[in-house]
A and B are shown apart, each in its own frame.
Chain A
Amino acid sequence: MKFDIMRDRLLDGLNDVMKAVSSKTTIPILTGIKIDVSEEGMRLTGSDADITIQTYIPVEENGEQLINVEKPGSIVLQAKMFNEIVRKLPTNDVEFEVSEKFQTRIRSGKSDFHLIGLDSTEYPLLPELSEDNQFTVPADLLKSIIRETVFAVSTSESRPVLTGVHWQIKDGELVCVATDSHRLARRKVTLEHLPSEQSSVVVPGKSLTELSKILNDATTPVDIVMTNQQVLFKTNDVLFFSRLLEGNYPDTSRLIPEEYKTDVTVNGRSLLQAIDRASLLAREDRNNVVRFTTMQDDTIEISSNSPEVGKVEEQIQVSSLVGEELKISFSAKYMMDALKAIDGQDVVIQFTGAMRPFIIRSVHDDAILQLILPVRTY
């Protein structure tokens, strides 16, 4: 293998793939970055097994020659070392040459590095994903979908499948659901050109958080391919693969009540602040519980009572209060997380009873729906 490349372009590519490389891997080859060079361009791959990031640098871009390929080939180089070397090379022209036994020579200006590389056939094979089932989401929307759901995944490994977000394509919609079994966040998006076949995957929450970090806030399209092995997110020249969680995701659709007994419409921000104040007196070891009570004249009361600490009561005027009287307790933290995800708009809270899940959504639609299981007090 032999080629020349522009150092700044190589560095850009490395920056992306390095995000996937971890020193904690149990598979030795994954401490390296794989470099594949063909007549068309160069592909860099980094992976920690859970996520894999690939970048592509074409030989030529907008008439500018980025790479000059003399002889195609592949090699794996120690990621940390390679990254440091490229970062510190003296000129923008870098020359690579791999000879017998993976001997790798990197030259730039007057510096001349000799590295011992690793056999690229040892590197994991990424799945070939067909583009048939591909669909597209703008990067900024994808980012908010992640923000609105991923906080609700379980952090406990007792039900591993709940550590992921369930992505389901059904009836022309993409539905993303996360739950730690105590609360649930659901985001629905109507998209054009969704695959007609129903399909679903459970993407680890951590992978989505990592993906979010490399997405920009623009409307750049992100192509998504879901298979039963991996999920792939493609944007410009970056490919982001994630492994999936095994196991069946519980059917959460039955949790969302069909009809409600008590409907409250309230300003999200003022409710959030009241809950925040009440939670000051709610004891951590009692699930940080606050009490929500409907009152007369479109008023609700948020209260909290800890025998040793003290108590707090606060009444809030609501826009509307319809239906049965209700006293219900819930975790202040879950409520605040939910209100933050809906982001300060006027919200509708719908209850069906003190021991049943209730939902919180924007007054406008139910694209973002938050569901919370109450706390039973004795």
Chain B
Amino acid sequence: MMVQTAEELLKLQPVVMKQLQTIFDKKRLGHAYIFEGGKGSGTEAIMHFFVQLMFCEEPRKNVPCETCRNCQRIKSGNHPNFHQIYPDGQFIKVAAIEALLHEMNKTGLEAGRKVYVVHEADRLNPQSANKLLKFLEEPEGIVTAIFITDNINAMLSTIRSRCQHIKFQGISKDTMIKELVAEGITLSMAATVSMVTSDLEEAFSLSKDDEFAQARKTVLKLVEATFTNVHESMLSVHEDWLPLFKEKEQMELALDLLLFAFRDIVAIKANPEAVCTYPDWLSYWKKVALQTTYARLSTQLQAILQARQQLQRNMNRTLMMEQLMLNLQEGKSFV
């Protein structure tokens, strides 16, 4: 994780930072908080900021000093009164909660507040959540809990209702593209990755990833083929697409990229000045946009979405792609 200063965090999440600093300033620390925010919204960094603030020996203007023994130990993970739990596989397991409660039911090794953080809290399975619920309802000692999630609705309502909700703003696409271009990424690539992720760091590494560049190229080649004829597109599926996208996650990403291409065409058809996922293909989009109808584009978008669902249901990939190619041709007369 990039170490971010308080000023940077303040810029990233001005509302949240003010809210947390006020809570600290007014000494109104609650029992439990939910930090809700997507990738790149700074939930992790701000959680660390907030925890450090709670433990710091000499906070100044509601900012932790970063240098005292407690700040240091929060950073190194050695503070005995600070505990974090993470999912193990798909879920946060009961064993993890039991270990946490074992810790929380005792007095702290050091005097003062105890803090625990539940990462990806939407992955608490019902059993784990219920174990935790009792403690959340009647905490022993001075305890503060922080649940981090990117989707508060996926959390059990019983837990939600016992926490103060801190909502993080997502990073804007424009900001991200600007940041990436400033780092030397091409505008075309920046535009594409900013559609795939809202996490700046992930966007940066994707931009530099050869595999991603190859995927982008393959998808665009297929788009072109679909506008030529069904034989071309079938060929492209078998020669390029299927050999490249072997894993489910790869296929998912590829279908998303395909969807973005058709969305570009719709956008350009409506407004030739629209912001594209593939700005480097702008002239091609303009050309095909003139030759097609909204109805047909809509059918095509639906076909891709359908394939995306079929993928989730583990449909045979070859069959799924062949079907998709036929569906993308629908409405166009074969010559």
> Would A27 and B77 be within 8 Å (CB), given that A121-B69, A246-B140 are in contact?
yes
> Nearest chain-B residue to A201 (Cβ)?
B107
> Least Cβ distance of B143 to chain A in Å?
9
Q: What 0/1 readout, one digit per residue, does chain A (234-254) give for beta carbons within 8 Å of chain B?
A: 000000000111110000000
Is there an interface contact between B109 and A124, defined as CB atoms closer than 8 Å? yes
Is there an interface contact between B105 and A246, defined as CB atoms closer than 8 Å? yes
Residues 81-106 (chain B) with a chain A CB within 8 angstroms: 83, 98-99, 101-106
> Would A122 and B105 be within 8 Å (CB), given that A27-B78, A27-B80, A127-B111 are in contact?
no
Is there an interface contact between A49 and B105, defined as CB atoms closer than 8 Å? no
Contact of A247 among B83, B105, B108 (CB under 8 A): B105
For the complex, what is the distance from the CA of A49 to the CA of B79, rounded to whole Å? Answer: 11
For the complex, what is the distance from the CA of A207 to the CA of B141, rounded to whole Å? Answer: 20
> Least Cβ distance of B109 to chain A in Å?
5
Name the interface size band of chain A. 20 to 34
For the complex, what is the distance from the CA of A29 to the CA of B80, rounded to whole Å? Answer: 9
Residues 208-237 (chain A) with a chain B CB within 8 angstroms: 228-230
Is there an interface contact between A157 and B72, defined as CB atoms closer than 8 Å? no
What B residues does A204 contact at CB under 8 A?
106
A309 within 8 A of B: no
B73 within 8 A of A: yes
What A residues does B99 contact at CB under 8 A?
26
Q: What 0/1 readout, one digit per residue, does chain A (29-40) give for beta carbons within 8 Å of chain B?
A: 110000000000
For the complex, what is the distance from the CA of A30 to the CA of B80, rounded to whole Å? Answer: 9
A257 within 8 A of B: no
Is there an interface contact between A245 and B110, defined as CB atoms closer than 8 Å? no
> Nearest chain-B residue to A160 (Cβ)?
B105
> Would A244 and B69 be within 8 Å (CB), given that A28-B78, A122-B78 are in contact?
no
> Nearest chain-B residue to A207 (Cβ)?
B106
> Would A246 and B141 be within 8 Å (CB), given that A124-B80, A157-B102 are in contact?
yes
Most buried by A among B69, B105, B108, B109: B109
Is there an interface contact between B77 and A28, defined as CB atoms closer than 8 Å? yes
> Would A243 and B72 be within 8 Å (CB), given that A26-B83, A49-B80, A49-B103 are in contact?
no
Q: What 0/1 readout, one digit per residue, does chain A (108-138) give for beta carbons within 8 Å of chain B?
A: 0000000000000111110100000000000
For the complex, what is the distance from the CA of A338 to the CA of B264, rounded to whole Å? Answer: 79
For the complex, what is the distance from the CA of A29 to the CA of B73, rounded to whole Å? Answer: 10
Is there an interface contact between A230 and B101, defined as CB atoms closer than 8 Å? no
Q: What 0/1 readout, one digit per residue, does chain A (44-76) give for beta carbons within 8 Å of chain B?
A: 000101101000000000000000000000000
For the complex, what is the distance from the CA of A292 to the CA of B6, rounded to whole Å? Answer: 71
B291 within 8 A of A: no
> Would A124 and B106 be within 8 Å (CB), given that A28-B77, A157-B101, A247-B140 are in contact?
no
> Least Cβ distance of A123 to chain B in Å?
8
> Least Cβ distance of B118 to chain A in Å?
14
> Nearest chain-A residue to B80 (Cβ)?
A124
For the complex, what is the distance from the CA of A243 to the CA of B107, rounded to whole Å? Answer: 6
For the complex, what is the distance from the CA of A27 to the CA of B107, rounded to whole Å? Answer: 16
For the complex, what is the distance from the CA of A29 to the CA of B72, rounded to whole Å? Answer: 13
> Would A229 and B78 be within 8 Å (CB), given that A157-B98, A157-B102, A160-B101 are in contact?
no
What B residues does A157 contact at CB under 8 A?
98, 101-102, 105
Contact of A125 among B103, B104, B110, B140 (CB under 8 A): B110
Interface residues of A (CB under 8 A from B): 26-30, 47, 49-50, 52, 121-125, 127, 157, 160-161, 204, 228-230, 243-247
Interchain residue pairs with CB less than 8 A apart (23): A27-B77, A27-B78, A27-B79, A28-B77, A28-B78, A29-B78, A47-B109, A49-B103, A121-B69, A122-B73, A123-B78, A124-B110, A157-B105, A160-B101, A160-B105, A160-B140, A228-B107, A229-B108, A230-B107, A245-B106, A246-B105, A246-B141, A247-B140
Task: Knowing that A245-B105, A246-B141, A247-B140 touch, tell me 11 more A-B residue pairs with CB under 8 angstroms.
Answer: A26-B83, A27-B77, A29-B76, A122-B76, A127-B111, A161-B105, A243-B106, A243-B107, A243-B109, A244-B106, A245-B106
